[in-house]
């Protein structure tokens, strides 16, 4: 089922690099002979340059007129999602590791996915132009809203996040490369389309390097040494429950706003999913080289996996129901 999205291999590789970090943490830790942190650090700019290069602005125009759907999706992505997670954190504080709670709020503050939201909407026979517009808009808004939300959360919990420094890093490592990629798109769009398959693997390799380096650092520093199995199980249950909660709320909201079937599918899929491709590179910019980064991004990795599995089942079922009509 995941093979239809051409992402099953990538998910397997993520699992493999986590296992490699458990088995050989010293090999990928910061300062080791391999210096994986260099790839993880400088590769961020490559990821966002390629995002700008492969993004076709003309595809957004087709979905522009559905402004009511756009407002609902973006409000859910950057408003409803964080509010629900904040409520869950309120009841979990003192019982769950603060870095895990930070990771769940980081998950909530992230933009939605781009490729998989569009792919799932298409599979379920929803409004693809609306999905393209919202997924792309979410990615751009997330560059600013995610660090702002994180700065607010960390300041309220007694931690600190130098927002001005983070914004400057984001401008240099994210916005500038994305803008350069968009400029290059006008000259290289045909070349990028022909080489899209291996270009996608360039940013995936950077993401794998960040995940490997982050988990190696976390394991070397002993972040995962206490109650690992129970902690992982709790994060899995929380990730699945969070997805279904958001999905259910957005399904009800789509009915209340009177969206058509096609618009409702795009709305639900775009607002209930979070981006690993944006979240992992951005985590290096926001949190820096903290040893706890592996623990912080763990909820995002788990949520990403289960959202793909669950939504692929739902999208296939929707497609079958539509064919039966």
Choose the weakest-confidence range: 150-154, 180-184, 194-198: 194-198
- Nearest partner of 276 among 13, 3, 1, judged by Cα: 13
> Does residue 208 fall inside a structural domain?
yes
Q: For residue range 118-141, what is the model confidence (pLDDT) as tens digits? A: 778 887 888 888 888 888 888 888
- Residue pair 157/104 in contact (Cβ under 8 Å)? The answer is no
Query: At residue 93, what are phi and psi to the nearest 5 degrees?
Result: -60, 135
The count of domains in the chain is 1
Nearest Cα neighbor of 253 from 81, 25, 92 is: 81
Alpha carbons 166 and 121: distance in angstroms, whole number: 33
Q: Has residue 300 been placed in a domain?
A: yes
CA distances, 280 to each of 96, 133, 148, 205, 294 (Å):
22, 22, 17, 12, 10
Specify which residues 96 forms β-bridges with: 93
Residue 25 inside a domain? The answer is yes
325 occurs within a structural domain? no
- For residue 285, the 8-state DSSP code is H
Q: Domain of 143: which CATH number?
A: 1.20.1530.20
Domain residues for 134?
2-320
Could you tell me if 246 and 84 are in contact, meaning their C-beta atoms sit under 8 angstroms apart?
yes
Report how far residue 115's alpha carbon sits from residue 29's, in angstroms, rounded to the nearest whole number. Answer: 31
- CB-based contacts of 56: which residues, under 8 Å, 6+ apart? 185, 189
pLDDT at 175 over 80: no
pLDDT tens per residue across span 20-75:
888 888 887 777 777 776 776 677 777 778 877 877 666 666 666 778 999 999 99
In this prediction, residue 191 has a pLDDT band, given cuts at 50, 70 and 90, of confident
Whether 27 is covered by a domain: the verdict is yes
Band (3; pLDDT cuts 50, 70, 90) = very low
Residue 1's pLDDT is 45
Q: Could you tell me if residue 237 is inside a domain?
A: yes
pTM for the structure as a whole:
0.80
For 131-143, letters b (16+ CB in 10 Å) and e give: bbbbbbbbbeebb
Per-residue CA distances from 134 to 64, 84, 111, 191 (Å): 9, 21, 10, 26
Question: Which tokens hold the place of 94?
Answer: 């003192």
């Amino acid at each position: 089922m995941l093979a239809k999205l051409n992402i099953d291999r990538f998910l397997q590789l993520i699992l493999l690099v986590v296992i490699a970090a458990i088995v050989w943490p010293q090999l990928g830790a910061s300062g080791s002979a391999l210096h994986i942190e260099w790839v993880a650090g400088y590769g961020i700019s490559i990821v966002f340059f390629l995002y700008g290069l492969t993004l076709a602005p003309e595809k957004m125009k087709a979905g522009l007129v559905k402004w009511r759907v756009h407002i609902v999706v973006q409000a859910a992505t950057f408003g409803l999602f964080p509010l629900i997670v904040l409520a869950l954190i309120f009841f979990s504080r003192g019982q769950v590791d603060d870095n895990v709670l930070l990771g769940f709020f980081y998950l909530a503050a992230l933009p939605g996915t781009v490729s998989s939201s569009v792919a799932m909407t298409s599979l379920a026979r929803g409004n693809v132009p609306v999905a393209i517009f919202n997924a792309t808009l979410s990615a751009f808004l997330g560059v600013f809203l995610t660090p702002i939300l994180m700065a607010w959360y960390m300041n309220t919990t007694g931690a600190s996040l130098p927002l001005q420094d983070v914004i400057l890093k984001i401008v240099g490592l994210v916005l500038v490369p994305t803008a350069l990629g968009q400029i290059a798109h006008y000259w290289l769009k045909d070349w990028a389309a022909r080489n899209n398959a291996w270009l996608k693997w360039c940013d995936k390799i950077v993401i794998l390097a960040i995940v490997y380096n982050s988990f190696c650092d976390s394991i070397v520093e002993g972040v995962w040494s206490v109650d690992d199995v129970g902690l992982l199980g709790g994060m899995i249950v929380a990730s699945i429950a969070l997805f279904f909660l958001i999905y259910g709320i957005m399904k009800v909201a789509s009915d209340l706003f009177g969206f058509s079937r096609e618009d409702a599918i795009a709305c639900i899929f775009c607002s209930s999913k979070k981006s690993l491709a944006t979240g992992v590179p951005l985590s290096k910019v926001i949190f820096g080289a903290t040893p706890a980064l592996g623990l912080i991004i763990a909820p995002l990795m788990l949520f990403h996996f289960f959202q793909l599995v669950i939504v692929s089942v739902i999208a296939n079922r929707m497609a079958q129901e539509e064919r039966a009509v």
